Structure 1
């Protein structure tokens, strides 16, 4: 086994491209390379409010490895023009596409080694594990949670970042071979194309206060109004200073304050659970938010009213017995099919899609109508072809069972 950690041999050294002149020279070299282009991006999640890329790594055979500083370079449309028609190789592309788009990098065709490994049935699909399994190389991952907004970036971080892309073309070939052996090349192609066409991840802002860790334990509309106001105040301040909200005041502190409903700034400061590096330096800010929540005339509820979600399956027996019967019949058959195809069941058909079509199947029921329904919920062609007959048969059996029960009851 080859060791790709810095300790294994004299480590390479890398520099970060920060100027437009250096950037354009790199673009020319990349354009003259061979084969697909490997791309990765490093953000500062957990440290910064934004999800922008603070380092973008590019590798192409015959060209080399290039580490770009997006905040310094700005929009990178020249690079996009040079590589747009090529296959871009990622590991977990969905994590990087949004931040790459911010600087003008928009692939037309991708190969995702993480998703490909998942489709090939590998039990663990993290980059380090897949590289070790398929290439026999140990890849150190000690800087995966680093603050990539740090400047200057340490040499060991740059080595880590470079290895992430230098191995991707070889990994892409190994994963592609697995997929071809298993007859899944076309399946993977459809999945990769779907990653590119998915809408951008919705922002967690707006109603994000509902996802406060521990907010489910807050009782009462007034308490929830305070939780909401505190979350909004923290979010606005975090955006202003580009800091991850949880680094200012953790969720647990906001929840503790919302439960306590302090009657004064002094009482707020006395809550022992109200901690965090900005809990006291910005005490007036948090107290103003609490006053806003206490004075609010619109008291929120924890659950979002309306929406297109279906109830949790445990409630189906009472609320929709026919749907309950359909889901109980079809779900184990989909699990069995996934095992037969050596696919994670969620990649064969998402649980949400199966629940939705079970809750409200098309009427009149037919395989063709079910196929259309599955497609409307985002199922790809290969998923529909693999599952529609199984789903149709299970739903027909469920309807027959319901009819027999009704006849027996009458």
Structure 2
């Protein structure tokens, strides 16, 4: 059924209104539904520009984080309460930035995955489990816009108003499948996951960089990327909106001789391509003059990609193939996606260098040591051992030398 027309939604943007809302939310009951809206694709930062809260007995509250500032009082009020998210990993960082740090969560997206639902987007899961059609027309909006249009605010409110009901439906589904403990471990792991450190080679993700074949040109691409990143951070704008990746790689490949030549380069476009021309030209000159020439490729610090295993480690390649087949069958049996049974990285790691002796206990210890959850180890250890043993006993392919 369609969602009923919604009342007008107001945004809380003063400390007085915020503290009154904290008191009202504290008087509610049960879990609290939480969501956050960012301005990805528009802003450099990943800060929250709107935070939505719903609790039974309290109602719905929409907060303007830049105006409110610190949310410590709300965090304290909800310290012992379960927080309900849909895709918690997307919101936890920006919530922690304003002082909101849940101690216990329920993730309806992750729960839906573990329950075996084929599609786990919020609108789809709400429609499947609650029978309500939830429009998602503003998901990619620029939430740093002020004032926020009323239609956007209604959309944001609806994102949390059905979330507690959805939590109960997903929990019931998990309980009926005997997966409640699995979900609990996964939710705890989501909370405990640490943010990845900044990648010093992030510039290597430039679109089109693979077409650059000389270290000097790479140095120019790196200098342009760093100049763009610095300026984007300074004015809090998404880097690609200032200067597209392909403009950087085009300039790095062409190496224009003068600033005027850079301005004439057809592929060098974007909102700030001309207004910041001195900045980009200075970066090109710095790249040209640099003594620190980057290598064409950065050697990996881990195991090689699986596509190279058949040549570099044929036994590991057979183990991985056998384990993947076993996992596909296990995934179907348990109605849990393969990637949730065990991360592909963990499976590759243990296939590349399995413990010796190969026993269920040694495999379980290795998996737990690499960060697998206990339920994952319990669910997969026998499949891994059996697959590895069968792989070691398989006949080599006709063009494969016997080991």
Which TM class, normalised by the smaller chain length? over 0.9
Contact 1:210–1:302 (CA under 8 A) maintained in structure 2: no
Does structure 2 retain, via aligned residues, the 8 Å contact 1:322–1:402?
no
Structure 2 partner of 1:188: 183
> What is the TM-score normalised by the length of structure 1?
0.94
TM-aligned CA deviation for residue 354 of structure 1 = 0.7
Please, what is the CA RMSD of the aligned residues?
1.8
State the alpha-carbon separation in 2 of the partners of residues 186 and 217 from structure 1: 48
Residue by residue over 1:37-56, the C-alpha shift from the partner in whole angstroms, topping out at 9 and shown as x without a partner, is 00000111111111111111
2 CA distance for matches of 1:47 and 1:364?
53
1:261 and 2:220 aligned = no
User: How many aligned positions are there?
Assistant: 401
Partner residue in 1 for 2:167: 172
Cα drift, residue 305 of structure 1:
2.9
Cross-structure match for 2:266: 272
- Which residue number corresponds to residue 142 of structure 1? 137
Report the TM-score, using the length of structure 2 for normalisation: 0.96
The within-5 A match list for 1:8-407 is: 9=5, 11-203=6-198, 206-308=200-302, 310-401=303-394
* Conserved? CA contact 2:62–2:157, under 8 Å: yes
Output the CA distance in 2 between the equivalents of 1:76 and 1:244. 26
**Residues 214 and 296 in structure 2, CA contact (< 8 A), matched pair in contact too:** no
The Cα offsets for residues 90-135 of structure 1, whole Å up to 9 and x where unpaired, read as 0000000000001110001100000011111111111111111111
Q: Tell me which stretches of 4 or more aligned residues in structure 1 moved more than 2 Å.
A: 201-204, 301-306, 363-366, 396-403
SS in 1 for 2:266: coil
Structure 1: runs of 5 or more not aligned = none
Q: 1:377, CA displacement in angstroms?
A: 2.4
- Structure 2: stretches of 5+ with no match in the other structure: none
Structure 2 CA distance for aligned equivalents of residues 184 and 126 of structure 1: 20
2:51 is paired with a residue whose SS is strand
The answer (yes or no) to whether the contact 1:222–1:299 under 8 Å persists in 2 is yes
Instruction: After superposition, give the CA deviation of every residue in 1:125-162 in whole Å (9 maximum; x if it has no partner).
Output: 11111111111111111111111111111111110110
Q: Which secondary structure state, in structure 2, belongs to the residue aligned with residue 138 of structure 1?
A: coil
